Amino acid sequence: MTRQEYKDIYDIVGVAQEVHKTLGRGLSELIYQEAMALEMQDWGIMEYSLN
């Protein structure tokens, strides 16, 4: 695995931890998916537009 791939994985795990810390547990998967996408956009990991 390349150094960039390790960084990407590290960032994604960080986003997941932040979303879980903020939202907690027990919500539907769709809510977590949208929260992850928005948080990833905030971190500059990906672009995402809500339809």
pLDDT at 45: 85
The structure tokens listed for 11 are 């960032």
CA gap 45, 25 in Å, rounded: 24
pLDDT at 3: 95
Residue 42: half-sphere exposure toward Cβ, Cα within 13 Å: 11
Q: Which residue has the tokens 């905030």?
A: 42
- pLDDT tens digit at each of 51 positions of the chain: 899 999 989 999 999 999 999 999 999 999 999 999 999 999 988 765 555
Q: Is the pTM of this model over 0.85?
A: no
